[in-house]
Each structure stands twice: as structure tokens, then as C-alpha cells.
Amino acid sequence: METVYIDKHTDLVTECRNGSRKAQFEIYKLYATAMYNVALRIVNDDAEAEDVLQEAFLDAFNRIADFRQETTFGLWLKQIVINRSINYLRKRKMETVSVDEVDVADEQETDFEETHLKVEAIKSAMAELPDGYRVVLSLYLFEGYDHEEIAHILKITENTSRTQYMRAKRKLNSLLATKGVVR
Amino acid sequence: MNNKLEGFVRDNKKQFEVKGPSDALWGKIAAELDKKQPKQKTFGLYQWMSIAAMLILTVGVYFGYQYKKSATEILVADINPGLGKKEVRFTNLIEEKRDSLQVLANADPELYKQFIADMGKLDKDYQELKQQLQTSPNKALVGKAMMKNLEIQLQMISQQLYIINQVNQYKKEEKTI
């Protein structure tokens, strides 16, 4: 099943290379939701996430000749989305938060009964995080990059990435606690 | 707690990504793609066209300029065909004699240098007259002056030839004695 899926993608990518609009739409349908969420988690704004998505897809389709199939198309596209999202943030002047600003609550054991509620709580808590925290957290937690890769993407040191992540997670947890999602 | 969050996100990632972009987005992207494709093609064509236009323009300007130049340059032959023929004959003769002078003067480079300097002065005058011919109101007069100049050049070079011949002769005799 898995191999069939991958084959279908390479075919689609090849068709995209030849400029097939239908194949482009197929690719879009396959990746739009996931990529939209990648962008949304970073820029934290619906309209901007859509702008990022539009630019990223256009960029990907126009530069598809550069895609050498060293990685999967999805990973390649994700890199474009992340880079564009970060550019948007940079335009808004991304601030990395110093320790003093952060009010760290005591870690509380929270027990969520309903997954859905917890998902929503995490999403809204992430939206409240400062940009710098949210980006590192989202890249590590959701996109599965390690700190070395994050350091490369954000042009920070690996150590900064690590500490930013730790602080971000603490802040997120404290936000979740103050929200008192447990009900 | 720490690993709980990571585990939770890993296990429920799909649930985080329920909401997608608006349906209108693909329309926007497709429209941009449509816009971009013919634009790129016409841009390439446009570029080629502009290169071709530039080439034609440069070539045109160059030849136009050349044509204008040759059209505006007044030759002695334009004023008086007889003088024109004379000019050709004189310059040819001068050229010939100059060559033979050079061959003969190999033996005496010092003398040749002097000759050439004198000839150079006259030739400079000739070029100046040629310039004057373009603007002068009395073209016939300038034309005649040019002929006179050429005549003097010819006479001078003939004399120089004669002198150098004599010098060579003298040297030869000196050797044989």
C-alpha cells in the first residue's frame, strides 16, 4: 500500500513538471491542509497562513524543476512553507523572549479526559505563546525537526534552540494549567 | 509531564490539523499559475524581439552614419572631375616614388628620416586642405591648392630620389676606387 502511494506521488510530480494543471491540483489537495497547519502554527494568523500557502505552492510549482527527488516532495514543500512562514514572522520582527519575561507556573499534573478538548487547549495556548517560542516548539514538536535542524533553519545556535524549546514547553504547560482545561 | 506532551502530540497529530485553508485558495493559486505561464513565454519572446530590435537599430545607425559620412564628404572629384583624376594620378606616383625612395634609402637612414619629415609636413598641409574643402565656400580654390600641394610633394620626392641616387652612386664609386 505504502509503495503504491509513493509511486503515485512521483507520477504526480513528474506530471507537474510537465505543467499539468490537474496534477498540480492533485498535489495541492494532498498537501494543502497539512501545509496550512504548518504555516498557521508558525505565523499564528489565518490570513497570513493562507498567503504563505499560496506563495509556497506557487514557488514549488514554478521551481519544481529544482526538486531533485533527494527527499520526498512533501518534505521539500514543507521546507518552502517553513521558510516562507519564518520570513513572514521576521517581517513582524520575531522576538526571542528573555527569561525574565516568562512567568513560569509550577508544573501541574493535568489530566485531560477528552483528547479533543486537550487538542483545542494546546492550540489556543500555542497561539498565546510569543513568536520565538511558538516557532521552536512547533518545529520540534509538530514538524519533527531536531535541534540541529532548527538551529540551521532559524540561524540560531543549537543550544538556544534547546533552551527556547524547554522554556516554550514550560510556558505552554503553565498556560494550559491556568486555562484549567480539566473539567 | 514533559514527555507526555510530545507523546500526546505524536499520537493525535491528525486532530491538530482538522482545519484547512479556505476553498478559494486553489482558485487564487491557479489564477497566478495561469498568469505566470503565458507571461514567461511572452517575456522570452519579448526579450528576443528587443535584442533583435537593438541589433537592427545599431546596425541601422552604423550604416546610416557611414552612408551620411560618405555622402557628406566632399571629394575633389566632386568639384572638378579633371582635378579628381589628377589627384589620383599624383597620389599614385607619390606612393610609388615613396616606395622606391625607401628601398634606396636603406643605405642612408639618416637622410631618409629628413626626407620623410619634410614630406610629412606637406602631407599634413594636404590633410588640412582636405578638411577645409568640406566647409570652404570657395571649393575650387581649395581643390587647386590641394593639387598644388600634391605637385610639390611629387616634385620634392622626385628630387629626393635624384639626390639619394647620386649619393648612392658616389658611395659606390668611392668603394671601387
How many domains are there within chain B?
A: 2
Angle A46-62/B24-72 helices, nearest 10 degrees?
A: 50
Question: pLDDT, tens digit, for every residue of A104-154?
Answer: 554 444 444 577 778 888 888 999 999 889 999 999 999 989 999 999 999
What is d(CA A142, CA B35) in angstroms, rounded to the nearest whole number?
Answer: 35
Say yes or no: B167 and B81 in one domain.
Answer: yes
Strand ranges for chain A from DSSP E: none
Question: pLDDT, tens digit, for every residue of B149-161?
Answer: 888 888 888 888 8
Average pLDDT, chain B: 82
Q: Which of A41, A32, A44, A45 is nearest to A138 (CA)?
A: A41
Over pLDDT 70: what percentage of chain B?
91
Say yes or no: B85 and B110 in one domain.
Answer: yes
Question: pLDDT, tens digit, for every residue of B70-103?
Answer: 666 777 777 778 888 888 888 888 888 888 888 8
Last residue of a domain, one of B41, B72, B103: B72
- Min Cα–Cα distance to chain B from A32, Å: 7
Per-residue pLDDT at B171: 80
Higher-pLDDT residue of B70, A18: A18
Is the Cβ pair B25, A32 closer than 8 Å? Answer: yes
Instruction: Judge whether residue A31 has pLDDT over 70.
Output: yes
Per the CB < 8 A criterion, the answer to whether B122 and B156 are in contact is yes
Establish if B5 belongs to a structural domain. Answer: no
Range of the domain at B107: 75-176
ipTM: 0.70
Instruction: Judge whether residue A25 has pLDDT over 70.
Output: yes
Say yes or no: B63 and B82 in one domain.
Answer: no
- Min Cα–Cα distance to chain A from B45, Å: 19
At A95, the pLDDT band (50, 70, 90 cuts) reads low
Note the pTM of the prediction, 2 decimals. Answer: 0.53
What is d(CA A91, CA A114) in angstroms, rounded to the nearest whole number?
Answer: 38
Is the Cβ pair B13, A142 closer than 8 Å? Answer: yes
Per-residue pLDDT at A84: 93
Distant-in-sequence, close-in-space partners of B6: CB < 8 Å, separation ≥ 6: A141
Q: Which one of A64, A119, A147 makes the best mutation probe of the B interface by having the most chain B beta carbons within 10 Å? A: A119
Say yes or no: B106 and B165 in one domain.
Answer: yes
First CA to last CA across chain B, in angstroms? Answer: 127
Establish if B13 belongs to a structural domain. Answer: no
Say yes or no: B52 and B119 in one domain.
Answer: no
Per-residue pLDDT at A99: 47
Higher-pLDDT residue of B43, B170: B170
Last residue of a domain, one of B43, B72, B101: B72
In eight-state DSSP terms, residue A139 is: I
Domains and CATH numbers, chain A: 2-91 (1.10.1740.10), 99-179 (1.10.10.10)
Residues of A whose CB is below 8 A from B13: 142
CA atoms within 13 A on the CB side of A54: 19
Establish if B9 belongs to a structural domain. Answer: no
